[in-house]
Structures are given as C-alpha cells and as structure tokens.
C-alpha cells in the first residue's frame, strides 16, 4: 500500500521528469513550470549563481542555442521527501549535436535538486549542477564516466 510519502516522492519524480522532457524537446514552456519564481541556481557554467526563474530560463535559452539537438539522461536519481520539502540527486548526461554539426558523446554532470511544495505544486527552489574541478591543472573534468 502506498503511503503519503510514496505519493509525494512520485510527484517529485514527475516534476523532475519535466526537466528531462523539456531539455530533449528544447521546450522552455515545460522547463519554466519546474522552477520557483525565486529559484537560486548554481549552474554548470558561470556565473556563481542565477537568482530568479527568469535568469534560470535565460541560461536554458543559451544552452539551447549551443545545441542543434540535445539529449539528457538522469541516472541513479535518489529522492528524499518529508512534508513540503524534498531533495533529489543524480548523475546526468548531456549530449547532442552542436550548431556546427559536431556530435558530442556527452558529458556527465552531478545534479542536485531541492524542492518546496507551494499550493500543492512541487517546484525547484534551488539546484546545483557541476563537473569536478582539478585544482592542480585548473581544468574542469568533463570526461568522467560513472
């Protein structure tokens, strides 16, 4: 028998599925329904943080101009939820064809999603996505496989 917490976890997972769906379709309309108006986002690329849904959506627009077509896959998505607060994390693989026609195998990033439920809807209030940083060379490490 499913508990309230199981049902809440299902809702959180469906909300995060919208990120996958929105990226693959390059559909900003889907993505903007995922984020809280005051989301604080620590994204893969600079700056240190985006504050607010509009800034986050401008970043997605930039990603979408970078790729002709884009793939996104989440692996090992783990979710914890209690009441109206949830967090989730996974490894995610971003791949696709760049505007210059070069196909990229993809790069694995680490994704953390922190959600709050407001008026019955789970929204991402904070997220962080990154690749590791090699302190000795100063390079981002974008070729690691899980």
| Interaction site with its own copies (CB under 8 A) | 40, 42-49, 66, 78, 80-87, 89, 91, 108, 110, 112, 114, 116, 125-126, 128, 130-135, 138-142, 144, 146
Residue entry with tokens 């000795």: 136
> Cβ closer to its own copies: 6 or 30?
6
> Cβ closer to its own copies: 52 or 140?
140
> Cβ closer to its own copies: 29 or 117?
117
In the complex, least distance from residue 48 CB atom to its own copies, rounded to whole angstroms: 5
8 A C-beta contact, residue 115 and residue 34 = no
Q: Residue 30, class by beta-carbon neighbours within 10 Å (0-12 exposed, 13-18 middle, 19+ buried)?
A: middle
Residue entry with tokens 């990154």: 130
Residue entry with tokens 């199981």: 6
The β-bridge partners of 133 are 140
In the complex, least distance from residue 73 CB atom to its own copies, rounded to whole angstroms: 14
The CA distance from 90 to 140, in Å, is: 19
In the complex, least distance from residue 8 CB atom to its own copies, rounded to whole angstroms: 10
């Amino acid at each position: 028998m499913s508990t309230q917490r199981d049902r809440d976890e299902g809702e959180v997972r469906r909300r995060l599925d919208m990120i996958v769906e929105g990226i693959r379709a390059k559909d900003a309309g889907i993505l903007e329904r995922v984020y809280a108006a005051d989301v604080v986002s620590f994204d893969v690329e600079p700056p240190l943080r985006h504050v607010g849904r509009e800034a986050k959506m401008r970043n997605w627009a930039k990603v979408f101009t970078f790729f002709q077509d884009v793939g996104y896959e989440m692996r090992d998505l783990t979710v914890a939820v209690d009441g109206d607060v949830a967090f989730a994390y996974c490894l995610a693989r971003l791949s696709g064809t760049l505007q210059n026609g070069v196909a990229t195998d993809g790069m694995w990033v680490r994704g953390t999603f922190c959600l709050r439920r407001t008026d019955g809807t789970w929204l991402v209030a904070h997220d962080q996505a990154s690749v590791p940083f090699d302190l000795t060379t100063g390079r981002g490490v974008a070729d690691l496989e899980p």
